[in-house]
């Protein structure tokens, strides 16, 4: 699961330098991220994954990637949105 989140993060970084980036691509990555998160939490709840620390680390990574994707989506929709470049 952590590797999948890392792959989404890497793809998002590629999009940052891609002039042809589409907001739909970012939304698709965000949807994949939510799906992976749900699967991981489900596996944890089922007892298939041990360790609250593992889950906590995973959720922090998911949150970081999600924040970056959200910022990129906001920028594509409205570059002047203050949430894009918080001071």
Q: Count how many Cα atoms sit within 13 Å of the Cα of residue 63 in the half-sphere of its side chain.
A: 6
User: How do the pLDDT tens digits run along the chain, 87 residues long?
Assistant: 888 999 999 988 888 777 777 889 899 999 999 999 999 999 999 988 888 888 888 999 999 999 999 998 988 877 666 665 555
* pLDDT on residue 81: 61
Q: Can you tell me the distance from the alpha carbon of 31 to that of 43, in angstroms, rounded to the nearest whole number?
A: 18
- Per the CB < 8 A criterion, the answer to whether 12 and 26 are in contact is yes
* pLDDT on residue 87: 54
In angstroms, the Cα distances linking 12 to 23, 45, 48, 67 are 11, 29, 29, 11
């Amino acid at each position: 699961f952590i590797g999948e989140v890392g792959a989404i993060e890497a793809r998002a970084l590629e999009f940052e330098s891609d002039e042809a980036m589409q907001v739909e691509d970012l939304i698709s990555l965000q949807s994949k991220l939510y799906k992976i998160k749900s699967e991981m939490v489900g596996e944890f709840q089922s007892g298939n994954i041990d360790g609250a620390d593992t889950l906590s680390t995973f959720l922090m990574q998911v949150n970081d990637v999600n924040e970056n994707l959200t910022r990129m989506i906001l920028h594509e929709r409205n570059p002047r949105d203050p949430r894009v470049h918080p001071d």
